[in-house]
Amino acid sequence: MSDPVGHLAIHYGGQGCRLLDNRPRHPQAVLSGRTVEEAAALLPRLFAVCGVAHTNAFARAVEAARQQTASPEVEDARHRAEQLEVVANHAWRFAITWATALGMAPRLDGLKQARDGQAADDPHMAAAGLRRLLEEEDGPVERMRDQARRLTGTPGLPTCRQPLGWPGAPWWAEAMRRADFIDRPTTLDGRVPAVLPRDADPGPKTGPLGIATALVAAARQSLVRLCGPRSRVVESYPFDLNAGIGLAETARGPLAYRVHLDGDRVVAAWAVTPTDWLAVPEGALGRAIAALPPGAGQEERLRLLVGLYDPCVPVQLIRTPAEGAAVDPSLAATREAETRAMETGADA
Amino acid sequence: MCIGIPMEILSSDGHLAMARTPAGTVREIRLLLVGAVEVGSHVLVISDTAMREIDSDEARKIADALEATTAAAEGLPYEHLFADLIDREPQLPPGLEPGGPNSATLAKASPVKTET
């Protein structure tokens, strides 16, 4: 069994930094040919961390394909489960990911409270756990914002668009409708910029401080959405005859599914996740990494950037030798494969 | 990618554990959230941290589903890896079940508002 999660590889050192996306292509391919109910039952197994969001987005896409809408009661129940998952995953980021990237001890009390609240279907308990993390004096949230401010001052560090929180649902639906999945059903090489319109505008351009601020703001908004009345956002969009687009929220941003049906069977399904936006070299994380100057502190700043952007996939840092020095054989092989791919148009 | 890896605990000191992935790789993981776990038990892991303890049946189902994605990518058969879902009685999630609380809405087949 090969690695089903894959990883992002960041090469750094004397020749600058760059990001390689070594994740598996199109895990939703296993949904093809399945009945709707088989596919819906399979999704939580595939995506155990954000299973609610994946299942909800899929269900909404199926309903759109069938020209149907869920009842308000059903959508209320979905929204509640989705927001509980969002709050628990925001808590995970602050308590584990950010704390670790900053060299701090994990914040277990707030995280456990948030996760216990999710398990007990208790919004107030979950919200109390996340609030505890957000409001901790000199905790990971505060310190990461300080570090992000410092990183933003790096000369030449670009800003980049990165969808966070909940950008306009119609924008997402249109982007997924225009995405070129059909012609390349199993090769999403190039990832998001290739499959979504290049002129798309998912949000304001931002650097590390903007990302940190947006993630904290998104966490605070999720508290409001979890404990307050549900805002009536349209999350299902018919695409074509027997095809639909469904949206759901995750702690890292919006998740979108496009599903094509033949009767009760899934002909094809594709998803664009927040990690897809982060994993591309042209994305916010990739561009920030590429702009980091070599030299002292490079690795520490890389670890901070990776922790801050939190791409939800293992990241491997690979130090490369300075120009003129011997080249790591694995990197040389990767570069050779990349060169071949560029020449042939195949996946790297 | 929202993917968690089921792992089997090989040894543990209550804080850290050596655990085996479905592919057979042994890794050190943190037990911060789950606390002490018995050797032979299973946990769901993300970022080398155990999220929660799972039973062997759930661990196998998740591992099989993940293996199905790699088999599909390689053009190999994969349906046997979730055979329990293929021939079972329909158990659709809320909103998609024919006889569920949303059945009236489904029967009416209300058109979805289009804003694109």
> pLDDT tens across B61-106, in order?
999 999 998 888 788 899 899 988 886 665 666 566 554 444 433 3
Over residues B9-29, the mean pLDDT reads 94
- The residue in chain B having the minimum alpha-carbon distance to the alpha carbon of residue A187 is B73
State mean pLDDT over A238-265: 89
Q: Who contacts A186 (Cβ-Cβ below 8 Å, separation ≥6)?
A: A25, A26, A29, B73
Task: Indicate whether A340 pLDDT > 50.
Answer: no
Establish, for the pair of chains A and B, how many residue pairs have beta carbons separated by less than 8 Å. Answer: 176
User: Which of A25, A96, A192, A270 is the best residue to mutate to test the B interface, defined by the most B CB atoms within 10 Å of its own CB?
Assistant: A96
Q: Choose the closest CB to B22 out of A1, A35, A48.
A: A1
Do A94 and A87 form a contact (C-beta atoms < 8 A)?
no
CB-based contact A46 B110, cutoff 8 Å: no
Please state, in angstroms and rounded to a whole number, the distance separating the CA atoms of residues B50 and B14: 12
pLDDT at A1: 60
pLDDT level of residue A310 (50, 70, 90 thresholds) = confident
Question: For residue A48, which residues of chain B lie inside 8 Å, CB to CB?
Answer: 2-4, 44, 51, 62
Q: Is A3 within 8 Å of B23 when comparing Cβ atoms?
A: yes
Cβ-Cβ contacts under 8 Å, A174 against chain B: 116
Question: How distant is the Cα of B4 from the closest Cα of chain A, in angstroms?
Answer: 5
Query: Average pLDDT of chain A?
Result: 79
Predicted local confidence at residue A56, as pLDDT: 95
The verdict on a CB contact (< 8 Å) between A71 and B101 is yes
Confidence (pLDDT) at B114:
39
Weakest-pLDDT range from A84-98, A203-217, A298-312, B59-73: A203-217
Percent of chain A topping pLDDT 90: 36
**A96/B62 touch (CB, cutoff 8 Å), yes or no:** no
Two tokens at A333?
């092989």
Stronger pLDDT, B60 or A172, i.e. the higher one = B60
Complex ipTM tops 0.85 = no
Does B116 contact A40 at a Cβ distance shorter than 8 Å? Answer: no
**Residues A238 and A96: beta-carbon distance below 8 Å:** no
For the segment A90-97, the average pLDDT, to the nearest whole number, is: 95
Residue ranges of E strands in A235-339: 236-240, 243-250, 253-262, 265-272, 315-320
Measured distance CA(B54)–CA(A269) in Å, rounded: 28
- Please report the pLDDT score of residue A66 as a whole number: 94
Please tell me whether residue B43 adopts helix, strand or coil conformation. Answer: strand
Question: Is residue A293 predicted with pLDDT exceeding 90?
Answer: no
Cβ–Cβ contact A97 with B under 8 A: yes
Nearest residue in A to B48, CA atom: A314
What is the model's pTM?
Answer: 0.82
d(C-alpha A150, C-alpha A214), whole Å: 16
Contact assessment for residue B94 and residue A60, using Cβ atoms and an 8 Å cutoff = no
Lowest-confidence region among A207-221, A259-273, A327-341, B71-85: A327-341
CA atoms within 13 A on the CB side of A109: 7
Residue A343: pLDDT over 80: no
Q: Does the pLDDT at position A106 exceed 70?
A: yes
Confidence band of A204 (pLDDT split at 50, 70, 90): low
* A6: nearest CA partner in chain B: B1
Is residue A7 a contact partner of residue A314, using CB atoms and an 8 Å limit? yes
Given a cut of 50, is residue A305 above it in pLDDT?
Answer: yes
User: Is residue A301 predicted with pLDDT exceeding 50?
Assistant: yes
Categorize the per-residue pLDDT at A174 as very low, low, confident or very high, splitting at 50, 70 and 90. Answer: confident
Of residues A134 and A300, the one with the higher pLDDT is A134
For residue B42, the cross-strand partners are: B8, B54
**For A189-328, where are the alpha helices, taking DSSP H only?**
191-195, 208-227, 274-279, 284-290, 298-309
Strand order in the sheet with A18-22: A18-22, A7-13, A315-320
Best-predicted range by mean pLDDT (A286-300, A319-333, B15-29): B15-29
pLDDT of residue A225: 87
- Which A residues 260-319 touch B at CB under 8 Å? 273, 275, 312-314
Does A198 score more than 70 pLDDT? no
Could you give phi then psi for residue A300, rounded to 5 degrees? -60, -45
Q: Hey, which of A173-177, A194-198, A312-316 has the most confident mean pLDDT? A: A312-316
Q: Is A98 in the B-facing interface, judged by CB distances under 8 Å?
A: no
Q: Which residues pair with B5 in a beta bridge?
A: B45
Name the percent of chain B in helix, strand, coil, to the closest 5.
30, 25, 45
How many CA atoms does the CB half-sphere of A175 hold within 13 Å?
25
Is the CB of B101 less than 8 angstroms away from the CB of A24? no
Please give the pLDDT value at position A185. 34
Q: How far is CA A306 from CA A8, A212, A282, A316, B25, in A?
A: 10, 12, 15, 10, 24
Average pLDDT, stretch A93-121? 95
Highest mean pLDDT, choosing among A48-62, A122-136, B42-56: A122-136
Q: Which two tokens stand for residue A304?
A: 């901070």
Contact residues, chain B, for A237 at CB < 8 Å: 112, 114-116
- Is there a contact between B33 and A112 if contact means CB atoms under 8 Å apart? yes
Q: What is the mean pLDDT of residues A49-64?
A: 93
All residues of chain A having their beta carbon less than 8 Å from the beta carbon of residue B82 are: 30, 38, 42, 45
Using a CB-CB distance cutoff of 8 angstroms, which residues of chain A are in contact with residue B66? 1, 4-5, 45-46
Give the span between the Cα atoms of A188 and A347, in whole angstroms. Answer: 8
Spell out which residues of chain A touch residue B46, defining contact as CB-CB under 8 Å. Answer: 49, 312
Cα angle: B88, vertex B92, B98; to 5 degrees: 105
Whether residue A156 is predicted with pLDDT greater than 70 in this model: the reply is no
Q: Could you tell me the CA-to-CA distances from B26 to A119, B5, B16, B18, B52 in Å, in that order?
A: 29, 12, 13, 6, 18
d(CA B43, CA B54): 5
